[in-house]
Chain A
């Protein structure tokens, strides 16, 4: 599409867009990743933004970033280090320079490197003037003044003109990677369709950026990343939160039940509630409750009344839902509780990722109160595991906790769209009019009671939080009965293991080291292990999606290996859980608590060290 002086073919590229939280970097990053996905690359993305909507301008704390990784091979992570950094101001450069690869390309908005901005970012001297960036391919562009010049006759006010400067940098990066502008032009047209002037201005600036990159001498070469070789099918980009919402809707449709979501907004889970609220066309009922407790309680009420009910939250919210979660266990009603984990404890790091709610999910309730716990492991498989969590909840008549995390929730990747007809059926144990109904009579296989929905003639019954008599479900203080019911509640969850797949292992049965992970660390662990395997290292990976109960072959898998290292973004909760289950296996740990995902680099270093220790 353009004359190139030099084209560098690359397997994969990581780009990080960064600027003030009002600079539109999330949108810029999303546009680039969508365009690359449409181009046929495999893509993984990760937004990194401050908790404040408009944090103090120009400060390091206010920097918002969006990293994306695309390639013509399989891409499992958003990448550790960037090939290209776009920094809209000195603070963005300061915050992100450590994430740029040696000799990587840095595009800066030169106009923003004023004395005042340098001071706000904490620079003593101008990094564009001294030799601190000498090892990088530095591209200085007067993005602000070029955008102003480009739009001086647009009829827009100054504020609107400045707002479109992100399109200039997007245009530049599009040229660098030989990307068509059509997708973004279409997007601009539909997003601002009520403001034709804004549409024209944004398109003009996008082209100006593209042409600028083409024209200036500084871009002596550009990159080319060929499309990835991926499985045939229809694809779309999807974030973890959207995939979770869709998995829940799909399960409701498959089960033939209306979906009800009772929730209270909380970062980083809010988008699930928002996506469900937007799906009234599919009959989804959303109830924005007055608090987290009412979120789960309205869901329990809806479940009692015969809807497929869910509640969505993050760590502190799960803590508030604890008592009601116990009620759902006691009443044996289907319910999915989604916990999008974030950095804790307390308010902690709301916009950052962590895996530290595992023990809360497994144990965090009063009394002996077990419920299945499942974890998604990639942004797109949030759909699959939300669906599976729903299927277990509905078929086994139990609340289920689905764990995702901030990294999965906000990350996006291309996803091969499934067909509803291919999803496994969901059979709900509904009691029918004329049944000889006992509220706590059970089927033999799953020990699930039947669901008698209010409105069904002749099945009037009472449930509640007090201990229930086996079979009849009347209130019972009989000591032996409490033992029986406690055992049943535990056995019911144990039997879920009969309905889940075995734990898969990537690598040899006799590898020297087995890496164990669970949930959102899948991409980084897989990449690290695969790269070591490619170097002929004797290493294997077992990654868990089913936490409680564990897959039936877990012990057999773990015992096969001399050295087992459990890697997680907490202080060792899964390792501790495995130890309590398998006392004669020794587990090593690798943990990180920085609100950030693992990097492939640090994982490989750790694994190499373990491999050498033998």
Chain B
């Protein structure tokens, strides 16, 4: 029933404003979430889909307030469970365009299990992962992505835990789409979101987001005006991995299987020596190297790091149901009730 409701002609042209709800945005002034909200509204307007087909589904945390600020269908659920709820919604109603919003605590701590299994199943949705390396809503405790040694309210002498690298976790769960952006870069974020939506399957978009109150400057090397161009590498499929203010730095493969930062024009390096980004290769090796680069040794990889085509969970589910229905002689409940061994009294 619901499936047929969705088959409608192309919608009228929408603007970012059409996606703004009437609710007052309550994030702290200066919070990175404001930028992401703008990016999402901008991207959705460009997706060419009717507004009623969008569902924004979140867990708990600052970023999980997101659905209230979107004039789409929305579900602000419980801590950690958004990926599971979104998985059910998409399986139930495959025509929906689902944006699942989570923070690093929501998706990788309490919801870690649902996160990896959604990715493994390849359910067609976009997971927008706000990574500020801190718990904001509960006022400043360390998160699973907080850097080792970080002093927070629950680690007053520094954390003794190793942080997750979200991309590494996702690749371990056989992720087919992984992209990364920065909260302040609205153009890049919305561009990535458009690619993520086109991808069939689970698309993870990690946004390096700044918590102005509890972890200000967590990503400063790659966001500060003076340093950012030296520490950002925006990847684009088919283009060379070149970065730097002068566009003269790049990546080459070292003899030991590790990436090496080189300068074009030094030691005989030319532009032709710089690696070309292949987001579509199924082999995750290079994507793993790229997504795990950290500053200051390396630039941080942004853009679409991995985008590999595969069938989504619900495509396979719908096909399997169709195949079985064609084969089976049981067409309705009365058929089932009277199937097999029955007898008359």
The interface of chain A, by Cβ under 8 A from chain B, is: 34, 37-38, 40, 183, 230-237, 246, 249-250, 253, 256-258, 260, 262, 279-283, 285, 287, 289-291, 293-294, 297-307, 309, 323-324, 327, 331, 416-420, 453-466, 474-475
Contacts and interface: CB of A to CB of B under 8 A. Distances in A.
B334 A299 contact: no
22 contacts: A34-B341, A38-B341, A260-B88, A260-B92, A262-B84, A281-B331, A285-B317, A294-B84, A294-B113, A298-B87, A298-B91, A300-B88, A301-B84, A302-B88, A304-B55, A305-B89, A331-B75, A453-B2, A454-B93, A454-B96, A460-B72, A462-B75
Given A235-B344, A305-B88, A466-B76, 7 more contacts: A232-B345, A293-B84, A302-B88, A304-B85, A305-B93, A307-B93, A462-B68
A466 B74 CA distance: 13
A236 B114 contact: no
B317 A301 contact: no
B23 A327 contact: no
Interface string B18-57: 0001010000000000000000000000000011110101
Contacts of A305: 2, 55, 88-90, 92-93, 96
Contacts of B21: 462
A231 B340 contact: no
A459 B2 contact: no
Nearest to A283: B321
Q: Interface of chain A, helix or strand or loop or mixed?
A: mixed
Contacts of B93: 302, 305-307, 453-455
B77 A465 contact: yes
Contact of B76 (A256, A257, A420, A465): A465
Interface residues of B, number: 63
B328 interface: yes
B160 interface: no
Given A285-B321, A464-B67, A418 B342 contact: no
B341 A456 contact: no
Interface of B: 1-3, 5-6, 8, 21, 23, 50-53, 55, 57, 60, 67-68, 70-78, 81, 84-93, 95-96, 113-114, 117, 317, 320-321, 324-325, 327-328, 330-334, 336-338, 340-345
A38 B332 contact: no
Contacts of B76: 462-466
Most chain A Cβ neighbours within 10 Å, of B23, B331, B336: B336
Given A294-B84, A455-B6, A301 B53 contact: no
Contacts of B8: 457
B15 to A, nearest CB: 16
Contacts, number: 219
A281 B84 contact: no
B114 A297 contact: yes
A466 B77 CA distance: 8
Contacts of A299: 88
Given A256-B1, A309-B92, A420-B332, A291 B52 contact: no
Nearest to A254: B333
Contacts of A463: 74-76
Given A237-B341, A298-B84, A253 B332 contact: yes
Given A235-B343, A280-B325, A460-B52, A249 B78 contact: no
B114 A294 contact: yes
Contacts of B96: 305, 454-455
A414 to B, nearest CB: 8
B60 to A, nearest CB: 8
Contacts of B317: 285
A230 B67 CA distance: 58
A464 B114 contact: no
Nearest to A308: B92
Contact of A301 (B67, B87, B338): B87
Given A297-B88, A455-B2, A463-B74, A230 B81 contact: no
Nearest to A421: B334
Contacts of A303: 88, 92
B84 to A, nearest CB: 4
B181 to A, nearest CB: 25
A300 B91 CA distance: 12
* Pairs of residues from A and B, 6 with the lowest C-beta to C-beta distance, nearest first: A301-B88, A464-B76, A298-B88, A281-B328, A306-B2, A302-B92
A453 B96 CA distance: 11
Contacts of B71: 460
Contacts of A302: 88-89, 91-93
A38 B344 CA distance: 9
Nearest to A327: B78
A222 B44 CA distance: 78
A307 B2 contact: yes
A456 B68 contact: no
Contacts of A257: 1-2
Given A260-B91, A302-B88, A306-B93, A456 B52 contact: yes
Contact of A454 (B73, B321, B345): B73
Most chain B Cβ neighbours within 10 Å, of A37, A183, A231, A307: A307
Given A294-B113, A323-B78, A285 B92 contact: yes
A474 B65 CA distance: 12
Contact of A306 (B51, B68, B92, B342): B92
A244 B213 CA distance: 52
Contacts of A40: 343, 345
A556 B53 CA distance: 52
Contacts of A465: 60, 76-78
